[in-house]
């Protein structure tokens, strides 16, 4: 049974009628974990529908010193949604309305629980475009994306979620509300609280409404999938392409281990001499795209491409992107378990990073898959292992730690887009100084003096 | 003579040898005002060359409670650089080195006093591109641009300065240093102190080094200058263009009063039926640009354009942009003085805003020029007047205040890109709530407990 006191239970049941307040373990079980597979048992789960409910909840929790854990679709892989200490999980599932899409102001105003992919489809009906595309966009939410400053493949051309947030309404611990920014595409009045909340991992305030910037939807897209003899040659081709002034919307690489995994899982389209692959997408006008494909093709040819194929428009492009999408299923044929990481290095250090990770893999007799976003230096690292094999599990853990240290030695960052959450919190001191963390903690204290917002996470 | 005590003078003269410490009114006079024409007399002007000097200065000023006023080229139009209370002006003029341009990492690392236009020329030599282009870029600095989160014409496609800052080193009051972000294009570890400093108008810390994100330089640019019967038709044409998926890098409008001023000042290229003009620039590949011009031309034709001309590549485009550049000289033929403002409204409210500003102009028998960035809803408002005519000056002041209130009633913002500084500080409470300003003041207090950093500014 719930560990909540009777008055607390009554308060929550009054504020969240019927099924909007869950108190039994059976009801709460799905709210215990996130995609990190870490878990914690909440005292209760509530599902607000209105800002008024959140104001009341924040007033109460602040007074009673009860932790709150904001949670949307819990696709987070670093334990951000996990109620580590006893507290209330606050689900945004019922705050999932697209409040407004304004094709004159080029904005969308949404509640935090709106699924990113749903918003994208909605705005595209009006020839508008919301570029951020975290891999989880089909199931993750705008609220979660803003809380983590989610990235994605199109970040190369369009930047991350931060660049697309124009405003928000938020409730502070204690129940006061603030409005940051608004509908204006430019706004420089006061300190930038909006971007302070963005990426704060739910540790400062609860966003109840978010205004996003939109742009015209590009006429079309075009993709190239290309195979090279090795990653060095592939990255050289990219360098030449950048020098020629080309900026793809997305630019993905797949390392040798990924290609082997794909090959073992089924047919791959390229010859066996290919050990590194690039997948690019351009967007723009039809005529511009034709020119882009031609130009990129010529560059790749001059850079010893072994194999390539192209597609213009969604239908033609899908088979190319299916190859990348099959990395995840193929990886589980390598080993039943994986540690995923999303380390990021300065762009020019990508080859060095991948080479070093391979050395760590060899040292520990592990298969480590590397793929990700070339343009951001954002490498997805999958340390494959069998968790039932204690020795292998221990080696995987050691490899994970060594990779973190190695990436920092390249002046990289512990997280490019997944965030810190619970999983990386123990390592933050390796990247941020005591002074920097002290400033962050003091800022947290201003917003949340009793530390009720997602405690134990982020910094 | 300086009002500084002898020990303070000695301290400064020891830390800043020879001409790097100015103490006489004659030497300091050029450091008293900024482009706002407001002024204040500093106690001293110092010109640090090293971070070590700034650390010592910040330690001393914190201990002695002496205000510091960071100052670069002082192009700010809202009094941001003005030493309102007695204090030390800290010039970044001698910290003007481009420390590094890395075409593999796609970053530039600079000292705060580097002139933005100089950096752009430098990176373009390596086929790299730093998009932010505040109008002052030929004389303003990266440090000032970051401190104000400067915008510019290319913000429509590329966003503002905030989107291009990857990292900084900064000295806090008291002398501690922090490093925010770094060379990584994606980074989500900890609260976003970097973007908190960006746009903070020098009120939190002193940046000693800034790392900027670069992208490949687009192959070429192309421009269109077009005349319409009225602003309504011009804006309709833009709407159709956006619907067709086109996103220019820059998209400027000039209202009827501007066109009259240009006509009075000399020849304009269009027929007299034109009362509103658009100036667009696209960037991309040669073939893409040709397609863009063709497509935009067809759209404009369908939208009753009265006159237009195009240019591909800098040489052909310059005469088109000369028309816009002549607004400022032409404006002074209307009246000898102006109040400049840079109000911003949600994009769809541009016509309503310009129409309302015209009504305010008529009411006060003033000429008010409106032009600016269509895509951002960012309107440059020039309230022309003769300051020696007391009645006209009073009317201009009333008009300025009425415009601020009117813009806020359209859910606009007091400043899109100029900042708050001294000039707009009295109006900030109209836009930000008590709770929001209180959060900002508490954050300021964490960084700067004795309020030595640019006091009296911003919020």
Task: Provide the mean pLDDT of chain B.
Answer: 96
Q: How far is the CA of A262 from the CAs of A253, A271, A281, A322, B264, in angstroms?
A: 14, 13, 21, 11, 70
Does residue B47 register a pLDDT over 70? yes
What are the tens digits of pLDDT across the range B277-292?
999 999 999 999 999 9
Helix (H) or strand (E) holding B202: none
A139: CB partners within 8 A, 6+ apart: A73, A75, A115, A117
Q: What are the chain B neighbours of A199 within 8 Å (beta carbons)? A: 188, 191-192
CB contact under 8 A, B288 and A286: no
- Answer whether A148 sits within 8 Å of B188, measured CB to CB: yes
Going by C-alpha positions, the residue among B254, B306, B300 that lies closest to residue B277 is: B254
Mean pLDDT calculated for residue range B379-406: 96
How close B14 gets to chain A, by Cα (Å)? 28
pLDDT confidence of residue A459: 86
- For residue A431, give the nearest of B189, B412, B433 by CB distance: B189
The pLDDT score that the predictor gives to residue B266 is 84
Q: Is the CB of B347 less than 8 angstroms away from the CB of A185?
A: yes
Size of interface A-B (CB pairs under 8 A): 306
Q: What is the pLDDT of residue B436?
A: 98
Q: Please give the average per-residue pLDDT across B81-97, as a whole number.
A: 96
Q: Is A11 exposed, middle or buried (0-12, 13-18, 19+ CB in 10 A)?
A: middle
* A341 closest CA partner among A373, A369, A371, A381: A381
Q: Complex ipTM, two decimals?
A: 0.96
Query: Which of B128, B189, B244, B445 should one mutate to test binding to chain A, selecting the residue with the greatest count of A CBs within 10 A?
Result: B189
Give the pLDDT score at A2. 58
* Alpha carbon separation from B329 to B131, B337, B418 (Å, rounded): 26, 12, 20
Substitution target in A184, A214, A288, A425 with the highest count of B β-carbons within 10 Å is A184
Tokens representing B293 are: 């011009």
pLDDT above 70 covers what percent of chain B? 100
Class of domain A335-409: alpha beta
Mutate to test the interface with B, among A108, A185, A350, A351 (most CBs of B within 10 A): A185
Same fold, A220-328 and A335-409: yes
Q: Which residues of B touch A195 (CB under 8 A)?
A: 162, 192, 195-196
CA distance B127 to A240: 11
Q: Does domain B220-328 have CATH number 1.10.10.10?
A: no
Beta-carbon neighbour count of residue A14 at 10 Å?
10
pLDDT of amino acid B267? 74
Main-chain phi, psi angles of A68, to 5 degrees: -120, 140
Cβ within 8 Å, pair B242-A285:
no
- Digits of tens for pLDDT over chain A (459 positions)? 558 999 999 999 999 999 999 999 999 999 999 999 899 999 999 999 999 999 999 999 999 999 999 999 999 999 999 999 999 999 999 999 999 999 999 999 999 999 999 999 999 999 999 999 999 999 999 999 999 999 999 999 999 999 999 999 999 999 999 999 999 999 999 999 999 999 999 999 999 999 999 999 999 999 999 999 999 999 999 999 999 999 999 999 999 999 999 999 887 899 999 999 999 999 999 999 999 999 999 999 999 999 999 999 999 999 999 999 999 999 999 999 999 888 899 999 999 999 999 999 999 999 999 999 988 899 999 999 999 999 999 999 999 999 999 999 999 999 999 999 999 999 999 999 999 999 999 999 999 999 999 999 998
Nearest by CB to B196, from A159, A192, A432: name it: A192
From A198's Cα to the closest Cα of chain B, the distance in A is 8
| C-beta atoms of B446 and A446 within 8 A | yes
pLDDT at A362: 97
Per-domain boundaries in chain B: 98-216, 220-328, 335-409
Q: Which residue, among B161, B190, B431, would best test binding to A if mutated, counting the most A CBs under 10 Å from its CB? A: B190
Q: How far is A41 from chain B (nearest CA, A)?
A: 26
pLDDT at B3: 79
Q: Are the C-beta atoms of residues B96 and B119 closer than 8 Å to each other? A: no
**Which of the four CATH numbers 1.10.260.40, 3.30.465.10, 3.40.50.300, 3.80.30.20 does domain A98-216 have?**
3.30.465.10
Q: Which residues of A touch B162 (CB under 8 A)?
A: 192, 195
User: Does the distance separating the beta carbons of B287 and A284 come in below 8 Å?
Assistant: no
DSSP letter string, B204-266: S-EEEEEEEE-EEPPSEEEEEEEEESSHHHHHHHHHHHHHTT---SEEEEE-HHHHHHHHHHS
**Contact assignment for B376 to A186 by CB distance below 8 Å:** yes
Confidence of residue B2 (pLDDT cuts 50, 70, 90): low
């Amino acid at each position: 049974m719930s560990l909540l006191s009777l008055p607390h239970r009554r308060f929550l049941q009054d504020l969240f009628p019927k099924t909007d307040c869950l108190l039994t373990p059976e009801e709460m079980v799905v709210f215990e974990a996130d995609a990190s597979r870490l878990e914690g048992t909440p005292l209760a789960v509530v599902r607000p529908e209105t800002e008024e409910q959140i104001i009341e909840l924040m007033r109460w929790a602040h007074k009673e010193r009860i932790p709150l854990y904001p949670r949307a679709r819990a696709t987070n892989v670093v334990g951000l949604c996990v109620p580590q200490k006893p507290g209330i999980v606050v689900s945004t599932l019922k705050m999932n309305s697209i409040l407004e899409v304004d094709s004159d102001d080029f904005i969308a105003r949404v509640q935090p629980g709106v699924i990113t992919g749903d918003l994208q489809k909605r705005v595209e009906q009006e020839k508008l475009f919301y570029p951020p595309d975290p891999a989880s966009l089909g199931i993750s939410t705008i609220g979660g994306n803003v809380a983590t400053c989610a990235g994605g493949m199109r970040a190369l051309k369009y930047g991350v979620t931060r660049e697309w947030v124009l405003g928000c309404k938020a409730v502070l611990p204690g129940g006061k509300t603030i409005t940051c920014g608004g509908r204006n595409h430019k706004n420089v009045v006061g300190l930038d609280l909006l971007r302070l909340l963005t990426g704060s991992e739910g540790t400062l305030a609860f966003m109840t409404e978010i205004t996003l910037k939109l742009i015209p939807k590009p006429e079309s897209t075009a993709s190239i999938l290309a195979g090279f003899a090795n990653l060095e040659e592939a990255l050289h081709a990219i360098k030449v392409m950048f020098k020629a002034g080309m900026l793809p919307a997305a630019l993905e690489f797949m390392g040798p281990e990924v290609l082997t995994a794909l090959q073992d899982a089924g047919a791959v389209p390229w010859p066996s001499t290919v050990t590194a692959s690039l997948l690019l997408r351009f967007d723009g006008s039809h005529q511009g795209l034709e020119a882009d494909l031609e130009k990129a093709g010529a560059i790749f040819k001059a850079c010893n491409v072994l194999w390539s194929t192209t597609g213009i428009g969604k239908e033609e492009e899908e088979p190319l992107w299916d190859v990348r999408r099959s990395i995840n299923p193929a990886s589980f044929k390598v080993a039943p378990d994986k540690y995923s990481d999303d380390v990021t290095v300065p762009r020019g250090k990508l080859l060095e990073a991948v080479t070093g990770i391979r050395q760590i893999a060899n040292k520990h007799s592990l298969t480590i898959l590397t793929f990700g976003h070339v343009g951001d230096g954002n490498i997805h690292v999958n340390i494959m292992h069998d968790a039932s094999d204690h020795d292998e599990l221990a080696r995987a853990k050691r490899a994970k730690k060594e990779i973190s240290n190695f990436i920092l030695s390249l002046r990289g960052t512990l997280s490019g887009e997944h965030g810190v959450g619970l999983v990386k919190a123990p390592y933050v001191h390796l990247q941020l100084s005591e002074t920097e963390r002290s400033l962050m903690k003091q800022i947290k204290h201003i917003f949340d003096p009793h530390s009720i917002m997602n405690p134990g996470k982020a910094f």
